[in-house]
């Protein structure tokens, strides 16, 4: 990935996916096409679940808490894997931080096509 370095997302930071993507389920996996970059992503089943949770403002801690209720997984491992996945989405411009009021912090990145 040749994206500019972005700061690490924090567990209590409110995040939401960005606009301008087409997502669908294909053979049980969530696949995504970024309309702005033309990139295709196969997020897998669990990645798709996380992607769906980012449709509205949410924190990493909220996502991890829900996953721990639904799956038998070590809390530390779950948190690390979710953190890594969300950071990758952020690096690709697929999600962004939002302010406490629910307004996107990035501002300039929101362009409707």
Q: pTM here?
A: 0.81
Are 92 and 106 in contact by the 8 Å Cβ rule? The answer is: no
pLDDT digits (tens, 9 = 90+) for 35-82: 999 999 999 999 999 999 999 999 999 999 999 999 999 999 999 999
Give the pLDDT band (50/70/90) at residue 110.
very low
- Burial group, residue 44, by CB count within 10 angstroms (0-12, 13-18, 19+): middle
Q: What is the CATH number of domain 14-95?
A: 1.10.10
Tokens of 64: 């991890």
Residue 83: closest CA among 68, 65, 61, 57 = 61
Residue 104 reports pLDDT greater than 90? no
> Position of tokens 């411009």?
93
Please report, rounded to a whole number, the percentage of residues in the chain having pLDDT higher than 70: 84
Domain ranges across the chain: 14-95
**What is the C-alpha to C-alpha distance for residues 11 and 61, in angstroms, rounded to an integer?**
5
């Amino acid at each position: 990935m040749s994206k500019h370095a972005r700061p690490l997302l924090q567990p209590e930071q409110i995040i939401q996916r960005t606009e301008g993507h087409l997502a669908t389920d294909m053979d049980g996996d969530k696949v995504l096409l970024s309309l702005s970059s033309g990139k295709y992503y196969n997020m897998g089943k669990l990645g798709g679940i996380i992607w769906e949770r980012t449709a509205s403002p949410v924190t990493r801690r909220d996502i991890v808490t829900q996953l721990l209720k639904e799956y038998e997984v070590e809390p530390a491992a779950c948190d690390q894997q979710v953190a890594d996945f969300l950071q990758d989405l952020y690096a690709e411009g697929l999600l962004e931080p939002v302010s406490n009021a629910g307004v996107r912090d990035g501002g300039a990145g929101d362009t409707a096509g």
